Amino acid sequence: MDPTPHLPPKSLTEPDGSVVIRVLSYNIRSLRDDEDALARVIRACEPDLVLAQEAPRFFRWRKHAARLAAKCDLVVLGGGATAAGPLLLCSLRAHVERTEDVLLPLTPGRHRRGFATAVVRFGAVRLGVISTHLSLARDERMRQAVALLDRVASTDAPYVIAGGDVNETPDGAAFRRLAGALQDCWAVAPWGGEHTFPAAAPGADRRIDAVFASRGVEVLACGVPVGVPGVASADLGVATDHLPVLAVLRLAAAPA
């Protein structure tokens, strides 16, 4: 892709009631790396919503999440330890209707997984949001992908955005299940970089992180924000072990 891509701008409510928002999905590895570099990357992307994974889950986890949000000029929307790691941050453009943290069934001997969910409004546009981190185990990962789609289907907002660490590439069964029911935003409007893991040298060679959108969402651009002003390659390499996925989306006031 173009190494210095033009990123469609965000917008306030347009005359027809539609809005353009930025959604960032990012595995932040429990803030164990360079937190200041992480904050610089997030802030430079100017997201309206951050769908984070591997947020701090233990001692003073709320304080750590609030500190990161403040560094990024955002606020904590929901999730964290109460969702087993997925976390939602948002800008003050978002009007919050409700939040809910969902814990998925625990398989003995495996890490607990969950969803951080919310329904928010941008102007008159209502949007469901889900951050997720699927299992490393293939069988469990598929069950969690099905649970995610069930959650999307039960959301009463006209649009739903789901993002996270899928823990497999697009040819995997769970990824294909999600992409079959939702729009894989990178596949719809590829922009910037594609691969998201590993972030450190010699560089990412797999796409295991994604933003998915329900039908009716117009995907303007989606990819790893390389070449975006303020997003330094050095910061991307030390902020965490994943690269972020940034999606620019247009939401109409009255979806078809």
Residue by residue, DSSP assigns 177-211 as HHHHHSEEHHHHSB-SB---B--STT---B--EEE
- Owner of token pair 């935003």: 185
Residue 17: the pLDDT is 85
Is pLDDT at 158 greater than 60 in this prediction?
yes
Is pLDDT at 256 greater than 60 in this prediction?
no
Residue 172 neighbours by CB distance under 10 Å = 18
pLDDT digits (tens, 9 = 90+) for 169-219: 999 999 999 999 999 999 999 999 999 999 998 889 999 999 999 999 999
Residue 3: the pLDDT is 44
Whole-Å CA distances, 67 to 60, 72, 73, 105: 11, 9, 10, 30
Q: What is the average pLDDT across 141-170?
A: 98
Residue 11: the pLDDT is 66
Confidence bin at 255 (pLDDT 50/70/90): low
CATH number of 19-251: 3.60.10.10
Q: Do the beta carbons of residue 50 and residue 89 sit within 8 Å?
A: yes
Rounded-to-integer distance, Cα 69 and Cα 77, Å:
10
Residue 201: the pLDDT is 83
Provide the CB-side half-sphere exposure for 239 (13 A, CA): 24
Average pLDDT taken over every residue of the chain: 94
Token duo for residue 93: 């453009």
Distance from chain centroid for Cα 230 = 20
Residue 1: the pLDDT is 42
pTM of this prediction? 0.95
Q: Do the beta carbons of residue 41 and residue 24 sit within 8 Å?
A: no
Q: Where are the domains of the chain?
A: 19-251
For residue 198, whether the previous peptide bond is cis, meaning omega lies within 30 degrees of 0, is yes
Q: Degrees (nearest 5) of the Cα angle 144, 26, 114? A: 30
Q: What is the average pLDDT across 42-53?
A: 97
Q: What is the average pLDDT across 141-156?
A: 98
Q: What is the average pLDDT across 248-254?
A: 91
Rounded-to-integer distance, Cα 232 and Cα 252, Å:
33
Is pLDDT at 7 greater than 80 in this prediction?
no
Q: What is the average pLDDT across 135-145?
A: 97
Confidence bin at 5 (pLDDT 50/70/90): low
